[in-house]
Structure 1
Amino acid sequence: MKKAENIIVGISIGDLNGIGSEIILKTFEDSRMLELCTPVIFANVKIVSFIKKHFELTAQLHGIDKLEQIVIGKINILNVWREGVDISFGNNNENAGKYAIKSFVAATKALKEGFIDALVTAPINKSNIQSEEFKFPGHTDYLDKELDGNALMLMVQDTLRVGLITDHIPVNEVAKHLTEDLITKKIGVIHKTLSQDFSINKPKIAVLALNPHAGDNGVIGNEDDKILKPTIKKIFESGKLVFGPFPADGFFGSGQYEKYDAVIATYHDQGLIPFKTLSFGNGVNYTAGLNKIRTSPDHGTAYEIAGKGIADNNSFREAVYLAIDIYNSRLEHAEISKNPLKTKEKQL
């Protein structure tokens, strides 16, 4: 197993006009972070040095031109581009999107090729990243194409884990996407990730209903009765501890979520509004279901405070911690899979 500091965490720089670069540098301003991993920031050392000076930070940066030059225990900056970039904090423009994607694509390639052990992505703006070369709604969709698996957005804060059956689609299209096949796939992904990435034996999963009051026996929509209930029943009978669908309105407020290892919502805001309310700015977005590890903070570019030096880096730091924890969990899971006797030894 790798020593802690030898775990190499790649970091895409995000939108240069947002708070991404600030929260990255603030996180690694604490030298103790370098005892947990070695960061590689995909950007340009001159740009990152300029940003460091702007925020009056003191962390030492190590510029490299090739991934083979990574130095353990240093804050490595890989020069993905050479030209200068105009930074205009707080402004949404195509130039910022262009370099955010240059960084992200290079980091994803390094992840695929094994130069980095995990990827943490700083926030991007979904509108300014679109181009002829990049036609994806965001990070997750591109990673789903590039990495083997079935990507699923899983929001994590300590033992609170909220996954999504559908994510970045309009609300008026959610119902037609809720098929038995999709629900079964997404629950399967969460079940596997709870075991492999979070070391939970026999995980318990709750599924939220689509309609108010789970449809009230068809009075308020029939999707819960016709699709969700029979699908959940079939999955439960296959041996997975999956329960629901539960009416979503009181599920979190009553503390019912605490009885489960993960909660799966039918659509984006149904899951993310309660998650962000409960996670107090420390939540992490984890892309479950891939053969590689990717995390990110649970917020966006925050243009309104960019460049002011007041951005909170807690969520980004937690994203780095989670990436490291999942990397170690996967190593342990792989070791146990090769030698099942180790599971018995742990239990004894």
Structure 2
Amino acid sequence: MKKAENIIVGISIGDLNGIGSEVILKTFEDSRMLELCTPVIFANVKVLSFIKKTLALTAPLHGIDKLDQLVIGKINVLNVWREGVDLNFGTADENIGKYAIKSFVAATKALKENQVDVLVTAPINKYNIQSEEFKFPGHTDYLNQELEGNALMLMVQDNLRVGLLTDHIPVNEVAKHLTEKLIIQKIETVKKTLIQDFGINKPKIAVLALNPHAGDNGVIGKEDDEILRPTLKKMFEKGTLVFGPYAADGFFGSNQYEKYDAVIATYHDQGLIPFKTLSFGNGVNYTAGLNKIRTSPDHGTAYEIAGKGIADYNSFKEAVYTAIDIYNSRNEYLEISKNPLKTKEKQL
């Protein structure tokens, strides 16, 4: 297993007019970060140097043209493009979107080819990345195509973990997406990631109801009684510790979530509103269910403060920490799976 200090963290630059570059550079200004990992930022060293100077930041950058030129313990910047880029902080720009995707595609390729160990993505603007070459709503959908597995958005902050049955779809389409097959697949994905990525042997999972008051026995919708409840019961009887569906309105306010290793919401805002309220800007978006590790901060491009040097970098830093922790946990799990006798030796 690799030692932590040798973990290569690939970083896609995100929207250059947003706060992505700022939070990346601020994260690695602390030299102690380079004792944990070696970053490779997929961008252009001249562009990053300009941003660094503009924001009066001090992180020393090391430009490289190939990944085999990477230097352990340095902030490596792989030149994905050569030309200069016109920046206008706080502005949505279609041309800037093209560079965000160049960075992301190159970083994903390096991840697939094991040239980097984990991927941390800076925020993109979902509207200016669309093109004939890239027709995906965001990072996750592309990663789901390129990497093995079934992607699931899992928001993480310490022991609070919130997953989603459905993510970026309109609210009026959520109910028709809730099938037994989808529910089983998502819960099994969360169960597997809790075991191999977070070291929880017998995870307990709570599932939130779709309708207010879990449908009130069919008075406010039948999906919870007809789809969710019987599916959860079937999974529980087969050994998965899954509970619910719980009425979502009081679940977080009553601290009920603390009894479980993960909570699965039926749709995007049902899970992310309480998560972001509780995580205070330290949350991490982890793409569970894939054969590779990708994390990102829990915020967007934040155009309104871009270029002002005031962006909080804690969520991005936590995304790096989480990627490293999951990498080590997954490697340990794989090692134990290959040699279960080691586990017994530890217990004796």
Structure 2 length normalisation: TM-score?
Answer: 0.99
Aligned to 1:165: 165
Once residues 4 and 337 of structure 1 are traced to their aligned partners in structure 2, the CA distance between those partners, rounded to angstroms, is 20
Once residues 292 and 243 of structure 1 are traced to their aligned partners in structure 2, the CA distance between those partners, rounded to angstroms, is 28
CA contact (8 A) 2:295 2:322 kept: yes
Once residues 84 and 52 of structure 1 are traced to their aligned partners in structure 2, the CA distance between those partners, rounded to angstroms, is 15
Once residues 42 and 11 of structure 2 are traced to their aligned partners in structure 1, the CA distance between those partners, rounded to angstroms, is 6
Aligned to 2:331: 331
Aligned to 1:215: 215
CA contact (8 A) 2:4 2:328 kept: no
Q: Where do 5+ consecutive residues of structure 2 fail to align?
A: none
Once residues 95 and 180 of structure 1 are traced to their aligned partners in structure 2, the CA distance between those partners, rounded to angstroms, is 42
| AA at the equivalent of 2:277 | T
Once residues 347 and 9 of structure 2 are traced to their aligned partners in structure 1, the CA distance between those partners, rounded to angstroms, is 31
Aligned to 1:92: 92
| AA at the equivalent of 1:81 | W
| AA at the equivalent of 1:163 | G
Aligned to 2:3: 3
Q: Where do 5+ consecutive residues of structure 1 fail to align?
A: none
The number of residues matched between the two structures is: 348
1:122-161 equivalences under 5 Å are 122-161=122-161
Aligned to 2:234: 234
Once residues 130 and 212 of structure 2 are traced to their aligned partners in structure 1, the CA distance between those partners, rounded to angstroms, is 36
Once residues 341 and 279 of structure 1 are traced to their aligned partners in structure 2, the CA distance between those partners, rounded to angstroms, is 38
Deviations 1:75-113 (A, max 9, x none): 000000000001100000101111000000000000000
Aligned to 2:184: 184
% same residue: 85
Q: Aligned with 2:333: secondary structure?
A: helix
| AA at the equivalent of 2:57 | L
Deviations 1:182-211 (A, max 9, x none): 000000000000000000010000000000
Aligned to 1:299: 299
Aligned to 2:112: 112
After TM superposition, give the deviation of residue 72 of structure 1 in Å: 0.5
1:234-273 equivalences under 5 Å are 234-273=234-273
After TM superposition, give the deviation of residue 2 of structure 1 in Å: 1.4
Deviations 1:153-188 (A, max 9, x none): 000000000000000000000000000000000000
Q: Aligned with 1:62: secondary structure?
A: strand
Structure 1 length normalisation: TM-score?
Answer: 0.99
Once residues 121 and 129 of structure 2 are traced to their aligned partners in structure 1, the CA distance between those partners, rounded to angstroms, is 14
| AA at the equivalent of 2:24 | I
Once residues 87 and 347 of structure 2 are traced to their aligned partners in structure 1, the CA distance between those partners, rounded to angstroms, is 54
1:199 aligns with 2:199: yes
Deviations 1:229-254 (A, max 9, x none): 00000111111100000000000000
CA contact (8 A) 2:206 2:245 kept: yes
Aligned to 1:322: 322
Q: Aligned with 2:32: secondary structure?
A: helix
